[in-house]
Amino acid sequence: MHIYPDARSVVRALAPDEPVLLNRPHAAARAARFFVEKFPGKSLYAVKANPSPDLLRVLWDAGITHYDVASITEVRMARATLSEAVLCFMHPVKTSAAIREAYHQHGVRTFSLDTEEELIKIVDACRALDGTPAADLKLLVRLRVSSEYSELSLASKFGADLVDAPALLQETRQHCDWLGVCFHVGSQAMTPFAYVQALERVRAAIVEASVLVDIIDVGGGFPSVYPGMEPPPLEDYFAVIFRASESLPISYSSELWCEPGRALSAEYSSLIVKVEKRRGDELYINDGAYGALYDAAHVEWRFPVRALEDDLIEGEQDFAFYGPTCDDADYMKGPFALPADIQAGDYIEIGMLGAYGAAMKTTFNGFGAAEQIVVEDEPMASLYRGDRADPRGVADNVVSLR
């Protein structure tokens, strides 16, 4: 595969008419090494953020051994890509057929649940042919926690309420080898306090249930960096989670897990788009709401942009984007700051699309093809470079773990 230095060189060489996805394996590997070295436990990559097999191999090579999968299709794909990976089926609502195939054909032993019905479904689907119940299950009870500190809520759909959790934990304990508690604070949690609050709820559930817990799984939600969203350093999250989990009423040998999706994949990809038309401060580009810019359209997420022409000289102006389909909803409000003299035929690079960007592409309306190319330059923003200015301004008293 041909590797290019950066987006500009791709435009010069190919002048692409279709959007081009630029992948940065070095950036994803750096993020993975960061979690492997600094998170005080095990890091599972949440495959839904970006299920690219190439990315899975990069993360595996950088030390990520466990993968959070949510559908039987993700199970099959992850297994076909990484034959030795530990797959954890962390969607709390699964079909019996999916559980059966995952357990009996793909070696999945770890499942999450948030109701007794799901527990029974898992126990039944994992029985041996002669009806013997599985003795090697790792079952995690998902607790409902607040999403108030996150940009995207995951609070309303899944999770046992605190009133139901103790009985469910006790019941689940009877059927598993390892018992865990998990939760998800919502995506792009902008403060480590989100996890402290969730872990307080975990404490209440464990105390009330009075069961032995082997795994505390703090889920995903670890942020990346976007325009207008500068989170504190990830070390702060890790330190706060470590301290809060150390004080839980669990055995010394229990494990701490996390499930980062966004934080491991956001820096992996950017996208080259072409301006097809300009109307005032609106640019009609060739990718959009049904492509990699789903979040830009539907939750008005802002992504960093830069023009890829050398001849644009005028100062910056704020633009909105229209995508290529015929749908009015194919609109990205931005604002996206670009040179004021940008026009049809020019190219733009949109950064930080490795998480929930590349993964969201559809072929609606006949658009959506995107070539993928590896580039070697830095992502437009990074939490892992080391030279990032500390958004807290001054070094405060948060202790680093190592």
Contacts with ligand PLP by CB under 6 A lie at 46, 48-49, 68, 90, 184, 187, 219-222, 259-263
Tell me which residue has its CB nearest to ligand PLP.
220
Contact 75, 100 (CB under 8 A): no
Which is closer to ligand PLP, CB of 241 or CB of 373? 241
CB 140 to ligand PLP: min, Å: 10
Which burial class, exposed, middle or buried, applies to 37 when counting CB atoms under 10 A from its CB (0-12, 13-18, 19+)?
A: exposed
Is residue 139 a contact partner of residue 179, using CB atoms and an 8 Å limit? yes
> What is the spatial distance between Cα 130 and Cα 124, in angstroms, rounded to a whole number?
12
Distance CA 370, CA 271 (A): 9
Would you give the DSSP letter of residue 60? Answer: H
Name which of 259 and 287 has its Cβ closer to ligand PLP.
Answer: 259
* Nearer to ligand PLP (CB atom), residue 32 or residue 49: 49
Contact residues for 269 (Cβ-Cβ < 8 A; gap 6+)? 21, 22, 23, 24, 50, 292, 353, 354, 357, 358
Q: Are 132 and 104 in contact (CB under 8 A)?
A: no
Strand ranges inside 134-248, DSSP E? 138-142, 150-152, 178-182, 187-189, 215-217
Residue bearing tokens 């070696």: 107
Taking the C-alpha atoms of residue 244 and residue 242, their distance in angstroms, rounded to an integer, is 6
The nearest distance, CB 75 to ligand PLP, in angstroms, is 14
Positive or negative, the Cα torsion across 35, 87, 52, 327?
A: negative
Report the distance separating Cα 137 and Cα 207, nearest Å. Answer: 23
Beta carbon nearer to ligand PLP, 228 or 366: 228
Q: How far is the CB of 230 from ligand PLP (least distance, A)?
A: 17
| Residue nearer to ligand PLP on the CB measure, 137 or 266 | 266
CB of 90 to ligand PLP, least distance (A): 4
Q: How far apart are CA 183 and CA 201, in angstroms?
A: 10
Taking the complex as a whole, how short is the minimal distance between the CB of residue 398 and ligand PLP, in angstroms?
21
Pick the closer one to ligand PLP by CB: 31 or 209. 31
Closest approach of ligand PLP to the CB of residue 349, in Å: 23
Residue closer to ligand PLP, measured from CB, 221 or 232: 221
| CB 8 to ligand PLP: min, Å | 30
| Least spacing, CB of residue 198 vs ligand PLP, in Å | 13
Q: Which is closer to ligand PLP, CB of 269 or CB of 325?
A: 269
Report d(CA 195, CA 164) in Å as an integer: 21
**Nearest-5° angle of CA 220, CA 221, CA 222?**
100
